[in-house]
């Protein structure tokens, strides 16, 4: 069915434009608010439709030319065709609506979206897919809604320049590799001065693969290290170069030097370094530390947010389930001369329960959970009696759910700041401040 001309009204979480056809909500990929479009319905559900653009009758003034030749085909970026200022406005609107629907957080408590200093070239971690085709090796990304690899011959516009340079050199070297079909994926990560590739290998001759990359390592600048992985993270092993990546975080106390933080490939790190530093500044402002506080950092990773705050508080306890990240956090304490922090390898919910059972109390809790949120840790969190909770989230829906759970324990949202960690996509980071109700404090 082809519709009469429709006008795209807004953007929805997931990246699609939204219009109405015969009164029914319709989601339209790759559309832009203000577009006049003729559509073909692709699916009809009880409460909504999906459709594709058959004709762009009148383009929206908010449309801009996407710089990537794979835009619209690659399953990654979905908003390169939308002016960046409107991307920010849409993300703020989506975040506010989600918090209201899922957590009854009033819209006036949601701030303006913090723009990324870089709209492109910001991403410091990229996962490339490989396919050994008859006409040559393809290295790029899955086509939208498929496992067909689209070749990113010119690199990725949102990737850091060091990643694209390393990819170009890897592409040349792999032309002489004997088993291209045995490498389905390569991850490239970079710090401030280093770049490391992890080769995912599913063949049987690991030693031969190691020798191959060791022999051509000098051709792979700016890579400073190469790892080989044959399954789970536990199979990760360094085969040449350096094994660590490092980045700096700003000083958060007047007399403190900037922190230098390291992590190993496979450990979590924020993909946008500038916005990572912006989050730290927001956390510092929200926490308003006075020097006597005890800080709990849940899902702490390598100490990314808490360790730079060591000079602002009396003590830090960090909990993280991935052992390599805890090792990095402890190394970072030694590297930065931090003596008032402990980092423990434990599941968040179990760790919180043990701390509560031991009678531990914390003034402030920072948490940065995975996309699935932190519901499993919410029950025990009130037992630690923090006055302040600062929730860093990459998913507004699970944040809203968890804010609802915390509301039942006496915590209310004072402020939520959306932050654009992922320009050109619909994804959003946010920092949310919750305080304990005064009646709960008195109790």
Q: Which H/E stretch holds residue 51?
A: strand 49-58
Task: Report the pLDDT averaged over residues 348-373.
Answer: 95
To the question of pTM greater than 0.85 for the whole model, the response is yes
Task: Report the pLDDT averaged over residues 251-261.
Answer: 82
Question: What's the whole-number average pLDDT of the chain?
Answer: 94
The residues spanned by each domain of the chain are 6-63, 93-117+246-442, 125-190+195-243
Residue 234: how many CB atoms within 10 A of its CB? 10
Task: Report the pLDDT averaged over residues 351-355.
Answer: 95
Partners of 58 in the β-ladder:
36
- Counts of helices then strands in the chain (DSSP H, E): 9, 22
118 or 440: which leads in pLDDT = 118
| pLDDT attached to residue 291 | 94
| pLDDT attached to residue 255 | 75
Dist. CA 304–CA 46, nearest whole Å: 45
- The radius of gyration of the chain from alpha carbons, rounded to an integer in Å, stands at 24
Closest CA to 122 of 171, 150, 157, 76: 157
Q: Which residue has the tokens 């660590």?
A: 244
Say which CATH class 125-190+195-243 falls into. mainly beta
Tokens of 220: 């792979």
Q: Taking phi first (over 0 means left), then psi (-120 to 50 degrees means alpha), and beta for anything else, what does residue 84 get? A: alpha
Q: Which H/E stretch holds residue 228?
A: strand 225-229
Q: How does residue 161 score in pLDDT terms, banded at 50, 70 and 90?
A: very high
Topology, domain 6-63: OB fold (Dihydrolipoamide Acetyltransferase, E2P) (2.40.50)
Dist. CA 355–CA 311, nearest whole Å: 23
Q: How does residue 2 score in pLDDT terms, banded at 50, 70 and 90?
A: low
Q: How much of the chain, in percent, has pLDDT values that exceed 70?
A: 98
Q: Which residue has the tokens 């410091």?
A: 124
Torsion of CA 207, 209, 211, 215, to 10 degrees: 180
Lowest average pLDDT, out of 37-41, 104-108, 250-254, 315-319, goes to: 250-254
The 10s digit of each residue's pLDDT in 193-205 is 999 999 999 999 9
Topology, domain 93-117+246-442: Rossmann fold (3.40.50)
Q: Which residues are catalytic?
A: 394
DSSP class of residue 71 equals T
Topology agreement, domain 93-117+246-442 and domain 125-190+195-243: no
Q: How does residue 382 score in pLDDT terms, banded at 50, 70 and 90?
A: confident
**pLDDT surpassing 90 at residue 233:** no
- Among 41-45, 130-134, 420-424, the range of highest mean pLDDT: 420-424
Task: Report the pLDDT averaged over residues 57-81.
Answer: 95
Closest CA to 79 of 26, 116, 48: 116
| pLDDT attached to residue 442 | 46
């Amino acid at each position: 069915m082809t519709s009469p001309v429709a006008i795209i009204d807004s953007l929805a979480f997931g990246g699609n434009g939204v219009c109405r056809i015969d009164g029914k909500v319709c989601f339209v990929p790759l559309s832009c608010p203000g577009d006049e479009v003729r559509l073909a319905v692709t699916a009809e559900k009880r409460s909504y439709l999906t459709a594709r653009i058959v004709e762009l009758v009148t383009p929206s003034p908010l449309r801009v030319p996407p710089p990537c030749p794979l835009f619209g085909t690659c399953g990654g970026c979905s908003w390169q065709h939308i002016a960046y200022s409107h991307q920010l406005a849409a993300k703020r609107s989506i975040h506010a609506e989600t918090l209201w629907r899922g957590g009854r957080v009033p819209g006036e408590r949601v701030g303006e979206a913090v723009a990324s200093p870089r709209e492109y070239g910001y991403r410091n971690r990229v996962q490339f897919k490989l396919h050994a085709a008859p006409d040559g090796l393809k290295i790029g990304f899955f086509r939208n809604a498929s496992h067909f690899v689209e070749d990113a011959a010119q690199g990725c516009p949102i990737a850091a320049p060091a990643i694209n340079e390393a990819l170009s050199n890897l592409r040349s070297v792999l032309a002489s590799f004997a088993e291209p079909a045995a490498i389905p994926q390569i991850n490239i990560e970079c710090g401030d001065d280093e770049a490391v590739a992890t080769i995912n290998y599913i063949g049987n001759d690991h030693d031969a693969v190691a020798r191959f990359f060791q022999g051509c390592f000098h051709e792979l600048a700016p890579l400073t290290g190469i790892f080989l992985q044959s399954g789970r993270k536990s199979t990760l092993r360094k085969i040449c170069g350096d094994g660590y990546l490092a980045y700096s975080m700003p000083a958060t106390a007047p007399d403190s030097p900037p922190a230098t933080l390291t992590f190993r490939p496979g450990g979590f790190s924020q993909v946008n370094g500038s916005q990572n530093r912006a989050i730290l500044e927001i956390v510092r402002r929200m926490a308003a530390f006075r020097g006597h506080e005890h800080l709990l950092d849940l899902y702490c990773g390598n100490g990314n947010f808490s360790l730079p705050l060591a000079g602002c508080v009396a003590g830090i306890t960090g909990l993280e389930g991935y052992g390599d990240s805890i090792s990095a956090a402890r190394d970072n304490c030694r590297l930065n001369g931090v003596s008032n922090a402990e980092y423990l390898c434990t599941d968040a919910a179990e760790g919180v329960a043990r701390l509560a059972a031991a009678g531990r109390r914390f003034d402030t809790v920072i948490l940065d959970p995975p996309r699935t949120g932190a519901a499993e840790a919410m029950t025990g969190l009130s037992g630690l009696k923090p006055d302040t909770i600062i929730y860093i989230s990459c998913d507004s829906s699970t944040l809203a759910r968890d804010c609802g759970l915390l509301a039942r324990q006496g915590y209310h949202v004072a402020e939520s700041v959306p932050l654009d960690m992922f320009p050109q996509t619909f994804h959003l980071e946010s920092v949310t401040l919750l305080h304990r109700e005064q009646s709960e404090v008195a109790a």
